[in-house]
């Protein structure tokens, strides 16, 4: 199985990571996902909690900010399927998520259905 694939739904396509698989281990690894999107003319991606580096959810690492900036720079909308009730995160992570959700380039979702609805709108 490829680390990232193309999903078609309702006549639109997006790139998708796979649940339970590491995809981005460092901020530099985001270039591979962005390149995949460019090669396939996609401007949206759905990733899962396991696709991110472990320190993504710890704001003191700055990984979340750097990754979100990188995707935003290349105008790739990202939905992340993450259950914050089950995923350890820094205390201010939900505040960052709320702010990013308002900006429109990143949205944290609790289900794939919610992520697809947001990324395909």
Residue 64: other Cβ atoms inside 10 A: 24
pLDDT in tens, 61-92: 999 999 999 999 999 999 999 987 777 677 78
Q: Return the pLDDT at 88.
A: 64
Q: Is the dihedral of CA 39, 54, 46, 65 positive or negative?
A: negative
What's the residue count for the chain? 121
In the numeric block, which tokens belong to residue 99? 């702010």
pLDDT in tens, 85-95: 777 677 788 88
Higher pLDDT, 2 or 27: 27
pLDDT in tens, 21-55: 999 999 999 999 999 999 999 999 999 999 999 89
Residue 75 DSSP SS3: coil
Q: Return the pLDDT at 84.
A: 72
Predicted confidence band at 1 (pLDDT cuts at 50, 70, 90)?
low
Q: What is the pTM of this model?
A: 0.90
CA distance linking residue 82 with residue 49, whole number of Å = 5
Q: Return the pLDDT at 13.
A: 97
Which is it for strands 44-48 and 12-16: parallel, antiparallel or unpaired? parallel
């Amino acid at each position: 199985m490829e680390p990232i694939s193309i999903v078609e739904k309702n006549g639109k396509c997006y790139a998708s990571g796979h649940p339970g698989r590491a995809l981005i281990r460092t901020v530099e690894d985001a270039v591979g996902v962005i390149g995949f999107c460019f090669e396939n003319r996609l401007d949206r991606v759905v990733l899962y909690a396991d696709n991110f580096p472990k320190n993504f959810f710890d704001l003191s690492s700055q990984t979340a900010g750097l990754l979100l900036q990188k995707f935003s720079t290349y105008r790739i909308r990202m939905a992340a399927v993450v259950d914050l009730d089950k995923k350890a995160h820094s205390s201010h992570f939900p505040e960052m998520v709320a702010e990013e959700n308002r900006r429109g380039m990143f949205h944290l979702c609790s289900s794939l259905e919610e992520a697809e609805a947001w990324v395909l709108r």
